Structure 1
């Protein structure tokens, strides 16, 4: 059994301790079902979100007590090491540190996890092919497998030199969609994103052009850090020029850590941190990303992706299958992927639908198993939580204001889709809300003048707060992993220095720390 699929189990002492702390309510395994995002009515600005419906009054008090921000930074909080609750991986924190299954899966769950892992790594081929049920790739695509972008289930690699990277895709946005939360409209010819590969006989759409401009930043005490300012464009476009109104938006593949636990957080707990009008005057005005459910049109809370554009793990996986690989699923029937009506050669090619298997190239249970796999990748255990530097850094993380958006902990619902994620105390360090991160991280740039902030006049960059659990292992898993939405930051220090907008004050406090305190804060992040 490989490191990716080897099951990990809690020690009896750890399991007993967690049970005593109420962080797991194990109810036995039942056959898993497709994700069902429960519609939650949108909350008007200023309204108090409804209370959780899954808790008794006693449980509600216990949850409020355990998730209250700590004021004692002299020692670790109870169960802080187990960042992902009872399913936390206690495996060696090495290159495979993000690939392990949740430790509280039963035998049937482990089998499904292994099947999902194989499908996650599966290389798709073009149609027609003698390898039935494996064809349907593209015809235009960015990667042949999920694993290609999410390297060892971690974050993607930014390009090096002139070589491209399948982990970094170039989204196409139109100005009329820049102001909305859901940015789905793409270029009239090239679609939602630039496809840099094509099946035999079909030219790729083109390639990303990227160069960096190094600009120094001086920290308190005289330390100098160089930030890479990316300049984006396109090259080798095979189907004519982009529309003059099209804007470019680069996106790096995010890590897969703890997705099922994030899905199990109650919407009311997320909305409790929202303050879109900054009524408390603290400069932080996170807002929810409301998406439209396909079934009945009711709004559901987005929580996955850089823009919180997907409500469920399954929805995110279906979009990636269709847009990145060109594989249709029951949830997204685009058998020709991101090909548009103006790409007639692409649409004329044979797809990989096998009528005897279903109406999509990846019929159930393929999507279901991949979503199950993604949902049950374990969060790694914290390291060095009691080290003096880590505890000091944790306090600085709070005092500088980082925890205002990177909310440390939640307790998941008692009744999520998967029993193994039920009623867990988890430490994702995210509020899953959208925040304005300033002009430096603006979402879309003009292809005619990528360096100009005035060419497109986009709104300041608004991004979902990325969870920080597992970030300390990012470059252990892959030394070339990058930080932020496009991988421009090579280090955690660079990532912090890019923060602006609502995070500007926290960033400036970090800059003003002396060298010893900055090292302590970084030691805390590296322990996550």
Structure 2
């Protein structure tokens, strides 16, 4: 692979230890921590940190400390914060980037380990741009000629599937039926993004595949939307919620609400997550991402991102994150053909350059770029991130906000607490065994994510793909400004503050409409109290 060099102080990252002043730790007054109510411990006794500084999202859980996994956690953190390069992985632990990719680091998408920031331009080199492109036809079917997360970067001699320099993001104002005003006259603003990608920006043909038949799609029928990354702290705790507890929640909600029939109907799962390529096909409920695309964390967003964001191979994924359509296109590209052997002499196999390019791009036996120990450390870090403790729960305004949050109906979807199970850990990749001691575990913890982990519909302008969106956990989000530099919320960062996020729930057809009608009837002081509570949990 092309040998680029970069200055990367990997050993320094490993040795850095987070420090904070007394002002950055929750002041419990005269109370001993054992006297705090359970709600302060958002991640339970094993998964809560009382650090509320700018590094609050970065802290290891007590489960890490109890299991003696501190060194592995710090090592895994290095892979999250480091910059991947296109050098041979044997020369650098951060090598192996390419031939196509989305970002060069994890932290670029998750600033401060949190939610991505709202962007006015699509530039994957900007730290904080957590946007992933969602490109479909007019029936919300993903383009099969692109990967699910379309790539916008490539190494020589390849071209990216989408030229990001031609992408335009426009932020438009939206006026709701109430004229963006509460009955007492207080106003708010609402904005939403529209994304434009001209036809010449696409390197690959525009195709969708339905029922095993591939169709060409007119550019005028293409829909482009944005989805931003979310905070990754506490993911291990969500993974520890038992499958039967999730099903019980679906059964409870299906009694009074319409749920996504693609996942659940007539009291039973319609489909569950499984992995038949690396695993044995064992099924578990979907629980991660806005679109509920992932099940257990060990085959969840992070486990996949360390592979597909960078195209970084590992033992059980020795193939590129790439479509066959792209491989065919690149193999037929005269520019790629003219330079391929100069950059990839080791892939001079058949002597037919078109065949050799295609076979390299579609190979399922590529060299391993991410060692098993490094991947394991990354997953220890990912599963080991603590959740910031709740703040100011004894404050009168916050207490009022909590009461109103429940009374007006917010807690119907933003379920306050769950209890984890035995947390025996299942890995659809079969890299980890059940109860694997290499990973931190969170058995029998009461946690407070404020999410039912179910999809609902808000019918927002330029809505999320399919219209169904998993309820985002609210825990720790009140620290977003100090941890990430922005307080943006919702799937595409359209809400710049809590009020805007709430009011985007107010469409007449929204599943949350009744709660928003109740919220509108509150006084200004009561609305402020609800916001204070949301920012405190």
TM-score by length of 2: 0.74
Residue number among 128, 136, 140 corresponding to 1:173 in the alignment: 136
1:497-512 aligned within 5 A: 497-499=503-505, 500=507, 501-512=510-521
Deviations 1:200-238 (CA, angstroms, capped at 9, x unpaired): 443332123210111341122111111112111225615
Residue number among 215, 220, 225 corresponding to 2:188 in the alignment: 225
**1:434 maps to 2:455:** yes
**1:521 maps to 2:525:** no
Instruction: Give the match's secondary structure for 2:201.
Output: coil
CA drift at 1:192: 2.3
1:9-48 aligned within 5 A: 17=34
CA drift at 1:439: 4.6
Residue of structure 2 in register with 1:131 after alignment: 91
The 8 Å contact of residues 3 and 100 in structure 1, kept in 2 or not, is answered as no
CA drift at 1:322: 3.2
CA drift at 1:462: 0.3
**1:107 and 1:510, CA in 2 relative to 1: closer, same or farther beyond 3 A?**
same
Q: What is the CA–CA distance in structure 2 between the aligned matches of 1:170 and 1:407, rounded to whole Å?
A: 29
Residue of structure 1 in register with 2:328 after alignment: 342
CA drift at 1:129: 7.2
Residue number among 465, 471, 481 corresponding to 2:471 in the alignment: 465
CA drift at 1:329: 2.9
Counting matched residue pairs gives: 443
Q: What is the CA–CA distance in structure 1 between the aligned matches of 2:367 and 2:188, rounded to whole Å?
A: 53
**1:15 and 1:311, CA in 2 relative to 1: closer, same or farther beyond 3 A?**
farther
1:90-489 aligned within 5 A: 90-104=49-63, 105-106=65-66, 108-128=68-88, 131-161=91-121, 165=126, 166-174=129-137, 178=141, 185-188=142-145, 190-204=146-160, 205-207=162-164, 208-216=167-175, 217-235=180-198, 237-239=201-203, 242=206, 243-244=217-218, 246-275=222-251, 278-280=254-256, 290-294=272-276, 295-315=279-299, 316-335=301-320, 337=322, 340-344=326-330, 350=344, 359-417=367-425, 418=439, 420-440=441-461, 442-444=463-465, 459=466, 461-489=467-495
RMSD across aligned C-alpha pairs, in angstroms?
3.5
Deviations 1:410-451 (CA, angstroms, capped at 9, x unpaired): 11112433554111111011111122222536223xxxxxxx
The 8 Å contact of residues 5 and 99 in structure 1, kept in 2 or not, is answered as no
Q: Which has the larger radius of gyration?
A: 2
Deviations 1:336-387 (CA, angstroms, capped at 9, x unpaired): 556733342589675999xxx9953223123222121111111001110011
Range 328-337 or range 515-524, more displaced: 328-337
**1:296 and 1:463, CA in 2 relative to 1: closer, same or farther beyond 3 A?**
same
**1:264 and 1:14, CA in 2 relative to 1: closer, same or farther beyond 3 A?**
farther
**1:246 and 1:161, CA in 2 relative to 1: closer, same or farther beyond 3 A?**
closer
Instruction: Give the match's secondary structure for 2:285.
Output: strand
Q: Which structure is higher in helix share?
A: 2
The 8 Å contact of residues 141 and 337 in structure 1, kept in 2 or not, is answered as no
The 8 Å contact of residues 79 and 94 in structure 2, kept in 1 or not, is answered as no
Deviations 1:224-283 (CA, angstroms, capped at 9, x unpaired): 111112111225615166442543342101101200000000111111121498433x67
Q: What is the CA–CA distance in structure 2 between the aligned matches of 1:175 and 1:300, rounded to whole Å?
A: 30
Instruction: Give the match's secondary structure for 2:189.
Output: strand
Q: What is the CA–CA distance in structure 2 between the aligned matches of 1:285 and 1:402, rounded to whole Å?
A: 19
CA drift at 1:131: 2.6
Q: What is the CA–CA distance in structure 2 between the aligned matches of 1:4 and 1:79, rounded to whole Å?
A: 26
**1:2 maps to 2:16:** yes
Q: What is the CA–CA distance in structure 1 between the aligned matches of 2:19 and 2:379, rounded to whole Å?
A: 16
Instruction: Give the match's secondary structure for 1:224.
Output: coil
